[in-house]
């Protein structure tokens, strides 16, 4: 498989993404870029040596210059300003990360003009929207991990309650990757049978929302779940799997929402988003989706405010 993937930002998440991509053999040429080059170099060496335990031949290297990333098929954006130890909302990162993305990404996009971008940087939906504006890429080639990770957390909790494996639960968290996200239980199924929206199941949404912050408070970061979400998107692109995933994409009229990035089910293949789905949400869920849109627009406006 001839595939060049660059991971931009080699912190806890970026290094985990890089390791998982190499371990799964999803790329033949893995490039790591970090503002502190020595960190990228050390991670590249460690991951390269770990590849000796796999059946794959992967070249792992650290980029000294943006030019070293040229011709990448996929850019995974994990760059972020330092996260405050008392972070209780991802929007705290808005101004710092918006400025960082403005400084970094145009050069990477110019070096790899045909790439698919997978965004991990928070605040997820606003930064995904910003990436579309900065790069000029078609929106289909800019995908945020969005509520894919939230949906996985929700399904994990729902699995404990129902006794059904998480993979077999067709239950989505949609909207914002943030405080206004909602569980679309009106369309949730398992084995073709509806999953009723009981109060106990509604409460699982709140548990799923809070779990990453509990992890963050205990160990100072979260990495495995969100890295797994990013790698699932990358795998669907690399192998043209056409998985239907709840990811952050530009909304073009769904429920009368326009030009804002939110998570809806999207089919992901070689060129990025093949097409998006239009789930038949109930009235309350439709209202929640519009609330999400308003919340993300506020964050976008905050990016450029003094």
Provide the token pair at 263.
Answer: 């998570």
Catalytic choice (37, 165, 177, 243): 177
Active site residue 243: no
The number of C-alpha atoms within 13 Å of 172 and in the hemisphere containing its C-beta is: 25
Look at the chain and count its residues. 306
The number of C-alpha atoms within 13 Å of 266 and in the hemisphere containing its C-beta is: 34
Provide the token pair at 207.
Answer: 């548990």
Give the 3-state secondary structure percentages of the chain, helix then strand then coil, rounded to 5: 50, 20, 30
Give the start-end residues of each E strand in 140-233.
142-144, 169-170, 173-174, 182-183, 189-190, 193-194
Helix (H) or strand (E) holding 275: strand 272-276
Alpha-carbon distance of 80 to 101, in angstroms, equals 8
Alpha-carbon distance of 75 to 72, in angstroms, equals 7
List active site positions: 177
């Amino acid at each position: 498989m001839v595939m060049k993937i660059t991971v931009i930002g080699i912190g806890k998440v970026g290094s985990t993404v890089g390791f998982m991509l190499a371990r799964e053999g999803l790329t033949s040429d893995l490039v790591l870029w970090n503002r502190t080059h020595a960190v990228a170099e050390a991670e590249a060496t460690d991951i390269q040596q770990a590849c000796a335990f796999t059946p794959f031949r992967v070249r792992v290297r650290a980029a000294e210059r943006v030019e070293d990333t040229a011709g990448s098929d996929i850019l995974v954006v994990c760059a972020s300003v330092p996260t405050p130890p008392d972070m209780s909302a991802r929007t705290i990162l808005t101004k710092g990360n918006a400025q960082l993305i403005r400084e970094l990404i145009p050069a990477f996009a110019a070096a790899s003009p045909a790439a698919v971008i997978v965004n991990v940087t928070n605040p997820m939906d606003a930064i995904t929207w910003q990436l579309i504006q900065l790069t000029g890429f078609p929106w289909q080639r800019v995908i945020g991990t969005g509520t894919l990770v939230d949906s996985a957390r929700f399904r994990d909790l729902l699995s404990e309650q129902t006794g059904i494996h998480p993979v077999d639960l067709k239950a989505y968290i949609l909207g914002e990757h943030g405080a206004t996200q909602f569980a679309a239980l009106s369309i949730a199924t398992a084995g073709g049978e509806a999953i009723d929206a009981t109060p106990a199941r509604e409460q699982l949404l709140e548990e799923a929302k809070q779990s990453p912050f509990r992890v963050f408070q205990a160990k100072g970061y979260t990495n495995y779940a969100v890295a797994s979400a990013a790698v699932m998107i990358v795998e669907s692109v690399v192998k043209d799997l056409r998985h239907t995933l709840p990811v952050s994409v530009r909304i073009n009229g769904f429920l009368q929402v326009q030009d804002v990035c939110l998570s809806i089910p999207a089919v992901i293949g070689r060129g990025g988003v093949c097409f998006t789905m239009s789930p038949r949400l109930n009235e309350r869920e439709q209202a929640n989706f519009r609330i999400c849109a308003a919340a993300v627009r506020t964050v976008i406006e905050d990016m450029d405010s003094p």
